[in-house]
Amino acid sequence: MSHRSSAARTALVVIAHHRTDSLTAHTARRTAALLETAGYRVDLLDLHAEGFDPRMNVADQPDWGNREKPYSDEVQAHMQRVLDADVVVAVFPVYWQSVPALLKGWIDRVWNYGFAYGRSKPRLAGKRMLWLGLAGATSDDAITEGMQTVLETNLSEGIAYYCGFSYSSVALLPDAEERPQRIDAEGNLLVGDAVAGAEREAQYAEFDRRARKAVEGFLTAELVAG
């Protein structure tokens, strides 16, 4: 890993949501601010706002077996942003215990064979990754434990470590919905009434606190490793 000071490092913060007023976008902006305060130069990548097309296409797989194959101009620009980053932070809503299509498509197209994997010396080696997943489940719902495990397996083991990242952390942030959602013992989804007023403010203040704690914990791990 690079031994540059944090002041010289770059963090790529990737937002995977279609609304700029979403809690996901809010969390991404707060995360970017925390990273800037910690001395990082932040490259904020809003996939939807930048019009990124998550669908794989022939231009990005003209010859699958060729590690030196050319890629589309759009993907090459995104590859450079990943290369320029010491830290990558993905902020996304959890869909079906996974990432949304927008983020998955970005990984499919940009973290391509020959670039992110398929080489004995990975180009992304030494980089560090934080996955911030916002979940509608409540923090006391037993499903969150299994969701955390699934995300860690898919994202850290299946993607980040496979591509040579030296560290990957998944932070699951439950209670992201106004209406509390939980699964009962029979497997039924129970949706409660929307919170409002002071209760809503308290809920989102607690959500922000947990999100901040996840980012600060990641940065502490950065300092220890560095």
Q: Distance between CA atoms of 94 and 173, rounded to whole angstroms?
A: 9
Count of Cβ atoms closer than 10 Å to residue 100 Cβ: 19
CB-count burial class (<10 Å; 0-12, 13-18, 19+) for 5: exposed
Residue 201 reports pLDDT greater than 90 = no
Backbone φ and ψ for 138, nearest 5 degrees, come out as -80, 155
Per-residue pLDDT tens for 84-139?
999 999 999 999 999 999 999 999 999 998 899 988 888 999 999 999 999 988 88
Residue 214 reports pLDDT greater than 80 = yes
**Are β-strands 189-191 and 181-183 bridged in parallel, bridged antiparallel, or unpaired?**
antiparallel
When pLDDT is cut at 50, 70 and 90, the band that residue 198 belongs to is: confident
Backbone φ and ψ for 93, nearest 5 degrees, come out as -80, 145
Q: How many angstroms from the chain centroid is the CA of residue 95?
A: 13
Per-residue pLDDT tens for 2-53?
334 455 799 999 999 999 999 999 999 999 999 999 999 999 999 999 999 9
Residue 4 is predicted with a pLDDT of: 43
Tokens of 56: 């794989």
